Amino acid sequence: QDGCHNHIRVLLPRDARTLFVCGTNAFNPVCRTYQALTLQQEGEELPGQARCPFDARQSIAATFADDSLYSATVADFQASDAVIYRSMRGPALRSIKYSSRWLREPHFIRAMPHGAHVYFFFREVAAELGLPGKVPVSRVGRVCRNDAGGSPRVLERRWTSFLKKRLQCAVPGDVPFHFDVLEAVTAPHTLHGQPAVLAVFGTQRNSIPGSAVCAFYLADVERAFEGPFADPRGAAAPWPPVPEGRVPRPRPGCCAGMGSAAAIVTSGDIPDETLSFAKEHPLLHGAVAPAGGRPLFTQTGTRLTQLAVDAGAGPRGNHTVLFVGSEDGRVLKVLTAARRHGDSEQHGDTAGPGDDGTEAVLLEEIRLYEAGRCRGPRGASRVLSLELHPEGRELFVAFSGCIVRLPLSRCAQHGQCRRSCLAARDPYCVWLPPGGCVPFSEDLPDGFEQDVEGSSGLTGTCPGKGAAG
């Protein structure tokens, strides 16, 4: 019965003044454009097929680039036709229909334009690992924004540039511990001066519950698409890399007018040999490694579901705070900071190869879900979405039955205890006599104290309620 409602699955700004909205419309998806200020409809209603799923439980990732809609979802009610689709401007293009080499039972997470490409983050059933059963892996795929489809002989009205590669999020060691299941991906943020996306990964459903947050520099992601192709060998054995001598030129997946295809005006002019190779070899060998070679943050015994990032926290806007939602209704507040000298020995944490000197500090663990105030179906405690509102200094947390507003700072819990306030290392809180521990704001007088780096070595709380220390 719930499926017969019109579940809004796509809500995107199309430009500065309009919104693009798609709903399931009782298993008959439709899309409309609205004025952002008045919510008045503009233009005609569009069919939602391949732009919006039929069922609210089916996944969707969508974005606008060059006034074209890029959508990744399923194009039929049975969810058998997974599709990456471009529409609304220029030639409509899609992925090959019913091709398990291109997409194999995917669950789409995020779509975003970056440079000459549009990237898609998703998880799907692996074909290349040679393992029995359905093993999910995490992927990043991309297409060229100037892709106009192939020739009348190969990939006509299909992507010529679609490639995908596995995303790796693992704790390094003699036997690395892998988090294989992608749950959420952020928009790009600046991390150590470089654009990066942050993502939540979980363990396989048949293993010990656990989750990790990994960051991926977009420059590393771009370079990964220049790596070797995987050679399809069926499901019985791992797929080896294709020898470079077998890869045609221009390189499959290149954008027309760029790289080895610089002399080609449009993708329809790419040689059939390259197009045929691209059609049969969309997967690249290997995986994209995370920034620093390891997760930013891990947690065992629970599954994390969503992520929001404040990359401009603190009085100088130079601290990064992660807000991570969980399956059981909690929000974890995590500071990513430069590792202090001696921390690896003190905490038993070994800095692995490529470690970028970043440590994660769990600032708070806040239980938000209350069954009596936020009723919903089974699994209603799962955090479905996190939306940061820096201007209001608040975080909106969405559950299936309600939305909760959470202040970014909860400084009052430290009261008049200077030691507790500074030891908390919270970028949103400062110590300001005689007011005590207060949220930072631009209009505070000079003379406040803060120790986000933990350089003072303060720990613990003051003896006695409300004592100063």
pLDDT tens for each residue of 357-399: 678 999 999 999 998 888 878 789 999 999 999 888 999 999 9
Is 354's pLDDT higher than 50?
Answer: no
pLDDT for residue 355: 53
DSSP 8-state code for residue 347: H
Q: How many residues does the chain have?
A: 469
pLDDT band at 339 (very low <50, low <70, confident <90, very high): low
pLDDT at 167 over 50: yes
Using CA atoms, how far apart are residues 226 and 206, in angstroms rounded to an integer?
34
pLDDT band at 469 (very low <50, low <70, confident <90, very high): low
Give the span between the Cα atoms of 222 and 94, in whole angstroms.
22
Q: For residue 443, name the pLDDT band (cuts at 50, 70, 90).
A: confident
Residue 275: C-alpha distances to residues 101, 119, 176, 224 (Å) = 15, 20, 37, 20
Query: pLDDT tens, 178-207?
Result: 999 999 999 999 998 899 999 999 999 888
Q: How far is CA 276 from CA 103, 155, 250, 294, 348, in A?
A: 17, 8, 12, 37, 52
- Chain centre distance of CA 325: 13
Give the distance from CA 461 to its chain's centroid: 37
Least confident window among 42-46, 228-232, 350-354, 443-447 = 350-354
pTM of the model: 0.93
Kindly report the backbone phi and psi dihedral angles of residue 139, in degrees, each rounded to the nearest multiple of 5, phi listed first: -135, 155
DSSP string across 217-280? EHHHHHHHTTSPBB----SSSPPPBPPGGGS-SSPTTPPTTSGGGTT-SSGGGS-HHHHHHHHH
Domain 8-304 has CATH 3.40.50.2300: no
Q: pLDDT value at position 346?
A: 31
Domain ranges of the chain: 8-304, 305-339+360-408, 411-455
Fold of 411-455: ligand-binding face of the semaphorins, domain 2 (3.30.1680)
> Does the pLDDT value for residue 323 go beyond 70?
yes
379-400: b or e for each residue (b if 16 or more CB lie within 10 Å)? ebbbbeebebeeeeeebebbbe
